[in-house]
Structure 1
Amino acid sequence: MSTMTSPPPRKHVPLSQRPPGSSVRRFKDRSATFVLTAAMVIAMIPLILIVFEVTRRGIGVVNLDFITATEPPPRREGGGYAAGFFGTLYIMALAVLMSIPFGIATAVYIVEYGPNRLTASIRFFTDVMTGIPSIFVGLFVYGLLVIGWGGMGFGTFVGAVAIAVMMLPIVTRSAEEMLRLVPNEMRNASYGLGARKWQTIAHTVLPAAAPGLTTGSMLAIARGIGETAPLLLTAFGSGLVVTAFQGSPQGAVPMQLYKGATQPFEAGIDRAWGAALCLFVLVLAFTVAARWVGSKASTNS
Structure 2
Amino acid sequence: MSATDFAAAVKPGATFHKTSLRRRLTNDIAAVLFGVCFLLAVAPLISLLYMVISKGMAAVVKPHWWTHSMYRVSPSSYDGGVYHAIFGSLAQALIAALISVPVGILVGVFLVEYGAGTRLGRVTTFMVDVLAGIPSIVATLFIYGVWITTLGLPQSAFAVCLALILLMIPVVVRSTEEMLKLVPNDLREASYALGVPKWKTITAIVLPTAASGMVSGVFLAIARVVGETAPVLLLVGVSDKINTNVFDGNMSSLPLFIYQQFSSNPGPAGQYREWGAALTLVILVAVASALAAVISRLIAPKTK
| TM-score tier (shorter) | 0.7 to 0.9
Distance 2:153 2:77 in 1: 35
- Aligned 8 A contact 2:211 2:296 in 1: no
**Deviations 1:186-226 (Å, cap 9, x if unpaired)?**
22222233322222221121111111111110111111111
Instruction: Determine the structure 2 residue equivalent to 1:266.
Output: 268
Alignment length, in residue pairs? Answer: 284
Structure 1 residues 55-64 or 291-300, which shifts more? Answer: 291-300
TM-score norm. by structure 1 comes to: 0.87
Per-residue CA distance 1:65-123 (angstroms, 9 max, x = gap): 11221122322222111211111121111111011111001101111111211111111
CA distance in 2, matches of 1:285, 1:206: 25
Q: Distance in 1 between matches of 2:203 and 2:49?
A: 42
Cα distance, 1:227 vs. partner? 0.9
TM-score with structure 2 setting the length: 0.86
- C-alpha offsets along residues 250-271 of structure 1, whole Å, 9 cap, x if unaligned? 1111100111123312102111
Distance 1:195 1:123, change over 3 A: same
Specify the alignment match of 1:181 in structure 2. 182
Distance in 2 of aligned mates of 1:58 and 1:92: 23
Rounded to whole Å, the distance in 1 between the matches of 2:289 and 2:122 is 30
Contact 1:110 1:119 in 2 (8 A): yes
Shift of 1:41: 1.0
Residue of structure 2 equivalent to 1:39: 37
| Identity over aligned pairs, percent | 37
Q: What CA distance in whole angstroms lies between the structure 2 residues aligned with 1:39 and 1:181?
A: 30
- 1:65 alignment partner in structure 2: 64
User: Map of 1:277-292 to 2, 5 A cutoff?
Assistant: 277-291=279-293
- Counterpart residue identity of residue 157, structure 1: F
Q: Which residue of 1 aligns with 2:198?
A: 197
Whole-Å separation in 2 of the counterparts to 1:192 and 1:242: 55
The verdict on how the C-alpha distance between 1:287 and 1:103 changes in structure 2, with shifts beyond 3 A counting, is: same
Q: Is the 8 A contact 2:212 2:300 kept in 1?
A: no
* Distance 1:268-1:181 versus aligned 2 partners, 3 A rule: same
Is 1:94 the counterpart of 2:95? The answer is yes
**C-alpha distance 22-212 of structure 1, shift in aligned 2 (>3 A):** closer
> How far apart are the structure 2 equivalents of 1:257 and 1:296?
35
Contact 1:135 1:230 (8 Å CA) reproduced = yes
Separation of aligned partners in 1, 2:86 and 2:300: 34
Which of 123, 128, 132 is equivalent to 2:134? 132
Q: Which has the higher helix share?
A: 2
Which moves more between the two structures, 24-33 or 162-171? 24-33
221-230 vs 255-264, which moves further: 255-264
SS of residue in 1 equivalent to 2:123: helix
Q: How large is the RMSD of aligned CA atoms in angstroms?
A: 2.2
CA distance 1:32–1:139, change in 2 (3 Å): same
Where 1:243 maps in the other structure, the secondary structure is coil
